[in-house]
Amino acid sequence: MNNITEAYPVAPVIGAEQIALLEKLSNACAVSGDEGEVRAIVSEQLKDVADEYKIDGLGNVLVTRKAHQGDARALKVAVAAHMDEVGFMLVDGEDSLYCFELIGGIDLRQLPGKSVLVGKNHTPGVIGARAIHLTTSEERRNTIPLDALRIDLGLGGKAKIGDRATFATRFQQVGPSLVGKALDNRLGVATLIELVKHAPPNIELCAIFSTQEEVGARGAGVAAYYFDPDIAIAVDSTPAYDLPMWDNSENTQYNTHLEHGPAIYIADSSTISDPRLVRHLAQTGDTLNLPYQFRQPGGGGTDASGMQRRRGGIASLSISVPHRYPHTPIQIARLSDWQATTSLLYQALLRLPQDILTRPLDE
Amino acid sequence: MIELSPFLKQLLSLPGLSGHEAPVRAVIAEAWQPLVDELSTSKIGSLHGLRRGTGPEPRQRILLSAHMDAIGLMATSVVEGLVHFTQVGGIDPRILPGQPVTVHGRKDLPGVVAQPADRLLPAAQQGKPVSMEHLLVDTGLTAQETAELVRPGDLISFAQPPVDLAGETLSGHTLDNRASVAAVTLCLEELKHSAPAWDVWAVASVQEETVLGGAITSPFDIRPNLAIAIDVTHAKGPGVSDYRGFPLGEGPTLGWGPNVHPPAYKALKDLADRLDIPTSIEPMPRHSGTDAIGIQVVAEGIPTLVIGIPLRYMHTPVETVSLKDISRTAHLMAEFIARLEPDFMDKIRWDE
């Protein structure tokens, strides 16, 4: 008789319960530096599951699941998912009309005509635009500058300077899709919550629910220093620029495609993934017939950039759920991609070779 | 008793793009049914409600015209499951990226207006406001499903839910001009408590945003002695500081210019002042940009007035009005109508 059931718990499955949690996470407001609402959800989900649980000086939630029977040889794997989202901070104004700054990479062209939620009480507000009747055709050729926009709370509406704001979008499940704000990176947060609940017993799992990724991967970096892991993996959500080219020529710059499974990073502009980890994830996908795609090497960055160059260097990798319309009020991802990402990550960790870091980097 | 905020939100939730007003017409008809003696629909879809007056025959008639049509979008083609579109009414493409919409295909589909990444656009569009021809609606369905459910000509409505803001203000799409439809409805309700001498013809007109179709045709059927066009006007706020904007929440505007009958204007303005209903004078040097343009020149010509409800961010999905301004507009009209004597038009004089 062995205790294989305990040693190999059930793999995580993304179903109705997990989608409901994603909805809660997507609707929460947690702009970089103000991650409290998501932190509270993570805490509620994992406090009782964790072997160790703490909130560090930057607001990261650090959760440890020990290896089976405290195996001291088990590899220590940090997995980070950032809790923060892009958004706004009110910086000036009074009597219901507030100037605001952008936090994270937001395209100004996405702002006019949107509802927002302001501050801890989610006070509703809107970002308007001058009526078309009062604009000139010359004016319409230019993007409305940030200093011409206001967050309008209605007559006599009040907020505090320094309050954060997010788009007011509410999550929806539509056909095969997950539709909402901040899917970057609540998809990663939801994935990591499932991974912690179904921790692979062969490794020591150090989960980092990180802060301030959208303003420079600050949280994950210090958390990686704290954990001192053998391997660091960022679970994020990456753009799918898979729409047709305007002239219907071949789209060669798609970054990723929806419905092609998790995106494994080989290199982005701030991290070169450890090739051994890339090979291991791809082989796991090939062996188990799980879909995956390689993210087109190029721009962008994840929490991996904050973790890779800590201490003497940490073998790092990123894996992302693809989504369309990054950093806009409404993102679209496919449920199947999220399911496949969760499965691939879990299965790859479950099969992580004990000697992976002693193998040659180049094969 | 009609409660303004829920009624208005119900009106906002219904599609009714220019030329396709049936869904909203049905709900307005339901609200007007107990308030009028007769209801009918014009040949091109405007809703007519008649509240009979008590004056002697031939009885004088006043027409209240509030357009019920909405601006929106219309599908032009479906490419790889993404919907290209054009506009219905005047829309600044800069307010479109990231907007939630409903595509009225073989069934109603939620969607979002997608701005393709710069790398997928012609060089001249990169980093610039993206023109409508390059924007797309993504339904979140598979390419095949979307292709099966959406055809060129399908209407696309804005779908941003209305939001209550501070100070009894409401933000949402299509407050231009459902705010005025609500004002006319509240006016009819208030008139239940009086016996006006004049016949009151309430009209929820069609196609204002595109061709003034309703404004031009309903007065021909009704032949009013006096008409009031009720529409929204620009409120002061971000982007509007000159004479074309009026304070939000400080009462309706009374239009003044060639589109407006001067003696009737004076009578309305005097009454507002007597009743302490705050109003602003809205200079309309050339025309009013409302149903009044159409109404004024129907048949042998119709004396016309314009009342404006100040609104911020017109023709965006976050148009913002003050509920008080809507109630005041309704009350002013009801008081004006209740006081109209059978010989009102004979007694008012041009100020020569």
pLDDT tens-digit map of B172-192: 999 999 999 999 999 999 999
CB atoms within 10 A of CB B274: 9
Residue B262 has pLDDT above 70, yes or no: yes
Annotated domain spans of chain B: 4-70+173-343, 72-158
* Residue in B80, B98, B142 nearest the CB of A330: B98
Cβ-Cβ contacts under 8 Å, B251 against chain A: none
Residue B8 is predicted with a pLDDT of 98
Asked whether this chain's domains B4-70+173-343 and B72-158 adopt the same fold, the reply is: no
Is the sign of the CA dihedral B174, B24, B93, A252 positive or negative?
positive
Confidence of residue A8 (pLDDT cuts 50, 70, 90): low
Confidence of residue A69 (pLDDT cuts 50, 70, 90): confident
Residue A1 has pLDDT above 70, yes or no: no
Residue B17 bridge partners (DSSP): B70
Confidence of residue B349 (pLDDT cuts 50, 70, 90): confident
- Answer whether A251 sits within 8 Å of B120, measured CB to CB: yes
Q: What is the pLDDT of residues A33-58, one digit of tens each?
A: 999 999 999 999 999 999 999 999 99
Q: Are B88 and B20 in contact (CB under 8 A)?
A: no
Residue A3 has pLDDT above 70, yes or no: no
Residue A7 has pLDDT above 80, yes or no: no
Q: What is the pLDDT of residues A225-253, one digit of tens each?
A: 999 999 999 999 999 999 999 999 999 99
- Answer whether B315 sits within 8 Å of A176, measured CB to CB: no
Residue A10 is predicted with a pLDDT of 78
Q: Is A214 a catalytic residue?
A: no
Residue of A nearest to B100 (CA): A330
CATH code for the structural domain at B4-70+173-343 = 3.40.630.10
* Residue in B121, B164, B166 nearest the CB of A156: B166
Find the mean pLDDT for residues A212-223: 94
Confidence of residue A341 (pLDDT cuts 50, 70, 90): very high
Residue A72 is predicted with a pLDDT of 82
Q: Which of A37, A194, A204, A213 is catalytic?
A: A213
Gap between the Cα atoms of B174 and B250, Å rounded: 21
**Whether domain A88-167 has CATH 2.40.30.40:** yes
**Whether domain B72-158 has CATH 1.10.10.10:** no
State how far residue A301 is from chain B, nearest Cα, in angstroms.
Answer: 17
A29-60 CB burial, b ≥16 within 10 A, e <16: bbbbbbbebbbebbeebbeeebeebeebebbb
Q: Which carries the bigger pLDDT value, residue B282 or residue B349?
A: B282
Find the mean pLDDT for residues B205-211: 95
Q: How large a percentage of chain B has pLDDT more than 70?
A: 100
Confidence of residue A75 (pLDDT cuts 50, 70, 90): very high
Confidence of residue A5 (pLDDT cuts 50, 70, 90): very low
Q: Are B113 and B129 in contact (CB under 8 A)?
A: no
Gap between the Cα atoms of B291 and B215, Å rounded: 5
Annotated domain spans of chain A: 4-85+181-354, 88-167
CATH topology classification for A4-85+181-354: Aminopeptidase (3.40.630)
Gap between the Cα atoms of A143 and A108, Å rounded: 7
- Answer whether A148 sits within 8 Å of B239, measured CB to CB: yes
Residue A68 is predicted with a pLDDT of 87
**What is the ipTM, given to two decimal places?**
0.95
Residue A9 is predicted with a pLDDT of 58
Confidence of residue A2 (pLDDT cuts 50, 70, 90): very low
Cβ-Cβ contacts under 8 Å, B289 against chain A: 133
Residue B351 has pLDDT above 90, yes or no: no
- Answer whether B128 sits within 8 Å of A143, measured CB to CB: yes
- Answer whether A243 sits within 8 Å of B136, measured CB to CB: yes
The pair of structure tokens assigned to A339 is 């399911």
State how far residue A47 is from chain B, nearest Cα, in angstroms.
Answer: 35
Residue B193 has pLDDT above 60, yes or no: yes
Residue B101 is predicted with a pLDDT of 98
The pair of structure tokens assigned to A192 is 């990591």
Asked whether this chain's domains A4-85+181-354 and A88-167 adopt the same fold, the reply is: no
Residue A202 has pLDDT above 60, yes or no: yes
Cβ-Cβ contacts under 8 Å, B116 against chain A: 241, 243, 246
Residue A298 has pLDDT above 90, yes or no: no
Residue B192 identity (one-letter amino acid): K
Find the mean pLDDT for residues B188-216: 96
Where in chain B does DSSP place strands (E)? 38-41, 47-51, 61-67, 72-79, 82-88, 100-104, 108-114, 136-138, 155-158, 163-165, 169-172, 199-205, 226-234, 253-256, 280-283, 304-312, 319-322
Q: What is the pLDDT of residues B282-328, one digit of tens each?
A: 999 998 999 999 999 999 999 999 999 999 999 999 999 999 999 99
